[in-house]
Chains A and B, each alone.
Chain A
Amino acid sequence: MIVAEKKPMEEIIEEVKGYNKILIAGCNECVTVCEAGGKKEVQVLASALRMYFMNQGKEIKIDEVTLERQCDHEYLEEIRNIIDQYDAVLSLACGVGVQFMAEKYFTTPILPGVNTCFLGATEERGFWTERCQACGQCILARTGGICPVSRCAKRLLNGPCGGSTKGKCEIDSNVDCAWQLIIDRLKALGRLEQDYEKLTPIKDWSTDRAGGPRKVVREDVRI
């Protein structure tokens, strides 16, 4: 899922203070799971902002809505008939949701309420780690299901480097060396010979960000 973090309250206050009618829009997907922009976070933020402005003696209308997803037309359409009532929307969705809403509602300012961080997993409640960089050409079949693109600081495809010490990375002794993990897993799978000993050729990074903004077109499912 996409992992995001709540923006500091002070930053959000700065963002919204020029508006009088604000809609806070949460998203029921990834940001709900990582507890940054779901219904609950919308309620807390709305309540805090209402109190902040009341305390300032300003009468500001702050409403709440949580959409199933903000990265799909049909769910964004659900607010079409109410959006004109607001001066701005504070979206707690990831960067995708904020932008998609901004494209759809061209004349309404759509402000971000979270910092979108990475594609990751929930290790435990309140603790998320990165697992994928969406490089567009998955090599997990050869690396024991552990991604060196997202988990190796150098994105090495033939690792480890000299900075790997006791299974940890030189950038931080709390960070696992991805290549140590890969070797351990390949050993457990009995695939060290087939997968590790073979050199990986230079990766085609044009499917990553190097090739500019990306798109996926599936003619078979297009209507």
Chain B
Amino acid sequence: MRLQYPDTIRVVRVPCTGKVDIIHILRSFEKGADGVYVVGCMEGDCRFNNGNIRAKKRVALAKKILDTIGIGGERVQMFNLSSAEGPKFAQYAVEMTDKIKELGANPIKKAFKKKAA
């Protein structure tokens, strides 16, 4: 299965989405990412029991924080799939990329560009 997905995505591998903390998501935006999505196993199928449920809650909190500070909570999202669903992985990558393209660049970058100009 040699599937294509947008090359704008940087994959950060973690042992379980339960490892993903709010600070990891926030730092990505602080460093200029336009969007972040977390891809975890199906709910109820976590090898570590509830890692993906924890990730879901952290993503929800990250959304709330990003909304409050004006970056936009819709730039972060969680997806769930099984490890056998390669095509879905590629599909989610396309979906997320399209959504971020629609939203435009991270407003922090825009603010800085404006200042530099």
Contacts and interface: CB of A to CB of B under 8 A. Distances in A.
Contacts of A20: none
A50 B29 CA distance: 11
B30 A51 contact: yes
A48 B66 CA distance: 8
| Max count, chain B CB within 10 A of own CB: residue among A48, A52, A56, A57 | A48
Nearest to A49: B69
Contacts of B68: 9-10, 13, 48, 52
Nearest to B28: A47
A54 interface: yes
A40 interface: yes
A55 B26 contact: no
A202 interface: no
A43 interface: yes
Given A9-B68, A51-B69, A56 B111 contact: yes
Contacts of A50: 30
A57 to B, nearest CB: 5
What does DSSP make chain B's interface, helix, strand, loop or mixed?
helix
A199 interface: no
A48 B107 CA distance: 13
Contacts of A44: 22-23, 26, 65
A36 to B, nearest CB: 14
| Max count, chain B CB within 10 A of own CB: residue among A9, A40, A43, A51 | A51
Given A9-B68, A10-B68, A40-B21, A51 B26 contact: yes
Interface in A30-51: 40, 43-44, 47-51
Contacts of B65: 9, 44, 48
A43 B71 CA distance: 18
Nearest to B114: A57
Contact of B23 (A43, A52, A54): A43
A48 B69 contact: yes
Given A40-B23, A47-B26, A47-B27, A9 B69 contact: yes
8 contacts: A9-B65, A10-B68, A44-B23, A48-B69, A50-B30, A52-B68, A54-B108, A55-B69
Interface of A: 9-10, 13, 40, 43-44, 47-52, 54-57
